Amino acid sequence: MVARAVLIAAAASGQGKTTVTAALARKLVRAGRRVRVFKCGPDFIDPMVLARACGSPVESLDLWMVGAERCRALLAEAAAQADAILVEGVMGLYDGTPSAADLSREFGLPVLAVIDAGAMAQTAGALVHGLRDYGPVAMAGVVANRIASAGHAAMVAASLRDIPLLGTLPKQAASLPERHLGLVLPDEVAGLDELLDTLAEQLTLDLAAWDALPAAHIRSGDGAPAGSGAPAVLPLDGARIAIARDAAFMFLYPSNLSMLEALGAQLAYFSPLADEPVPNGATAIYLPGGYPELHAAELSAGQHWQASLRTAHAEGLPIVAECGGMMALAESLQDKQGKDWPMAGLLPGKVAMQARLAGLGAQAMPTGQGALRGHTFHYSRLETTVPAAATNQKHPSGAAGEAVYRVGSLQASYFHGYFPSNPAAVAAMFSRSTA
């Protein structure tokens, strides 16, 4: 099997990377190719959309949070299973530490540059050559977005000189909808699969040029499977972890779930939105992030899920709440319209939404087993009298980051942890003896 692999990047956010990645993935799938898609950097929503486009889970790749060794293992596993590997970049090609360009060079992934050509023609060549030469990076080709006509495409293609124009997309009448944390969740978009099919049809792709791209040569450094990393002894053997999972709590790295299972835990899901209580027999609870502010009325009215969380807390079950999960466990949540909604009340204090971004970036949480890496991204603030039990460190500056709160067996923070970065710390978080 020969896998072609590219890093899909742009000069900035908002150029159409996700649209092009989704369209290309769906087009290749419809052409009978086996496609794996990855997302560069921490993200939850784009991967959900991309998973719908390609039909398989989408993992994150990040040289710091995920680590080069695990990134390599994930890519090697994909190269052994797929015909095409698409890695969507983050922000601009050279933005961030590490950047998408760093990932490209680390694994020999040529860049497929997405340019918004809606307001340019020959200048496209200057932009793309600058993207290639600044690093430099290897350039596989270009997909030009918002192309107005065949003549427009020809001018863009001529300007690229020695760089091929592999595809074009016209201006779209309908696009992937967005909200304050990124794209709208896939299940909220009526006709998403039809939209993805339309984008795939609108994407002109030089399939012969795609097939002429060099094959990916990515091998795992130690031959370990991508899901490895758990200790030989299973510290969570016999544990049953209840995980909130619905439209209000959807921000879950697939690798986090795989890691909990690799540590020996059984996973059981419940929906606070449907007012489902914590499943019977749970030994620990995980409330991930999401959009509780969009479902505040339903969550506030749900007495069963709230009561079951209070009971579990009183009984000392470890409870790990990240971002949206923490918001739902505060005493109240104020939505964007200024209305206060009572919540579960395990964490004293109130949460209020705001228009400005309140936290963004990679961080590391200190634990007794070393740092757990992850990120933060939120538009709300918590007012609480509970003192911080720990303070995260921002990467790469080392400045103070998000507070970590502990109230009894509850650990809560705006921080989203990437569990494979420190399996021992994760095992401790979900164990009663160390909670």
DSSP assignment of 64-101 equals: IIIIHHHHHHHHHHHHHH-SEEEEE--SSTT-TTTTHH
Of 288 and 173, the structure prediction assigns the larger pLDDT to 288
Decide if 220 is inside a domain. Answer: no
- Which of the residues 40, 54, 71, 323 is marked catalytic? 323
Average pLDDT over residues 16-25: 95
Q: Are residues 421 and 285 in the same domain?
A: yes
Is residue 133's pLDDT more than 50? yes
Of 159 and 225, the structure prediction assigns the larger pLDDT to 159
**Which pLDDT score, from 0 to 100, does residue 233 have?**
80
**Which pLDDT score, from 0 to 100, does residue 180 have?**
43
CATH number at residue 335: 3.40.50.880
Q: Rounded distance, CA 305 to CA 162, Å?
A: 60
Of 89 and 435, the structure prediction assigns the larger pLDDT to 89
Question: How many Cα atoms within 13 Å fall on the side-chain side of residue 74?
Answer: 26
**Which pLDDT score, from 0 to 100, does residue 177 have?**
58
Is residue 104's pLDDT more than 60? yes
Structure tokens at 199: 């984008």
Last residue of a domain, one of 166, 192, 211: 211
Quote the percentage of the chain above a pLDDT of 70.
92
Q: Are residues 260 and 174 in the same domain?
A: no
Is residue 47's pLDDT more than 60? yes
**Which pLDDT score, from 0 to 100, does residue 174 have?**
57
CATH number at residue 11: 3.40.50.300
Q: Rounded distance, CA 343 to CA 334, Å?
A: 10
Identify the DSSP state of 293.
G
Query: Domain span at residue 285?
Result: 240-434
- Told to judge if 54 belongs to the known catalytic residues of this protein, a careful annotator would answer no
Instruction: Give the chain's end-to-end CA distance (angstroms, integer).
Output: 47
Least confident of 128-137, 222-231, 372-381, 411-420: 222-231
Buried b (16+ CB within 10 A) or exposed e, 100-128: bbbbbbebebbbbbbbbbeebbeebbebb
Q: Are residues 328 and 284 in the same domain?
A: yes
Decide if 235 is inside a domain. Answer: no
Is residue 75's pLDDT more than 90? yes
Of 188 and 47, the structure prediction assigns the larger pLDDT to 47
Least confident of 2-11, 225-234, 319-328, 343-352: 225-234
**Which pLDDT score, from 0 to 100, does residue 221 have?**
66
Cis peptide before 279 (omega within 30 of 0): no
**Average pLDDT in the chain:** 92
Q: Are residues 362 and 427 in the same domain?
A: yes
Average pLDDT over residues 327-354: 97
CB 213 within 8 A of CB 109: no
Is residue 229's pLDDT more than 60? no
Helix 192-202 crosses helix 45-54 at what angle (to 10 degrees)?
70
Decide if 248 is inside a domain. Answer: yes
* Total structural domains within the chain: 2
Neighbouring CB atoms inside 10 A of 371's CB total 16
Model-level pTM?
0.92
Neighbouring CB atoms inside 10 A of 83's CB total 18
Q: Rounded distance, CA 424 to CA 434, Å?
A: 11
The band of 45, judged by pLDDT with boundaries at 50, 70 and 90, is confident
3-state secondary structure of 196: helix
Max Cα–Cα distance, the chain, nearest Å: 70
Q: Rounded distance, CA 40 to CA 100, Å?
A: 7
Average pLDDT over residues 19-37: 96
Q: Are residues 316 and 390 in the same domain?
A: yes
pLDDT digits 0-9 by tens, 49-67: 999 999 999 999 999 999 9
